[in-house]
Amino acid sequence: MNLSTPSQENVNYMIEQIKEKLRMVNVDAMQSDKFSEEKYEDLKYLYEMVMKRDSFSPSEMEAIVNELGNLRK
């Protein structure tokens, strides 16, 4: 998938991938339609960081979830 162009489809893809990678339990809180293209670059940066890692400490998970919360509409 080409993530270089901001689009709602790309936003949806990145959110779904982050949820899967983090094995998030409360996936309802991370609905991709709650994210807009306005903060695309920030979301892409977070997505790339999450995808590079194999595991996360509890504090890192909390920080990632907090950042996702900040990126919501």
Whether 2 is in a domain gets the answer no
For helices 40-52 and 58-71, give the axis angle rounded to 10 degrees: 160
pLDDT tens over the chain, length 73 residues: 799 999 999 999 999 899 888 886 566 667 888 888 889 999 999 999 999 999 989 899 889 988 988 888 7
* Token pair in block for residue 31: 């609905």
pTM for the whole structure: 0.81
Domain total of the chain? 1
Whether 66 is in a domain gets the answer yes
Whether 1 is in a domain gets the answer no
Whether 3 is in a domain gets the answer no
Which amino acid appears at position 52 of this protein?
Answer: K
Calpha distance 29→31 (Å, rounded): 6
Domain that holds residue 47: 8-71
Whether 24 is in a domain gets the answer yes
- Give Cα 68 distance to the centre of its chain: 6
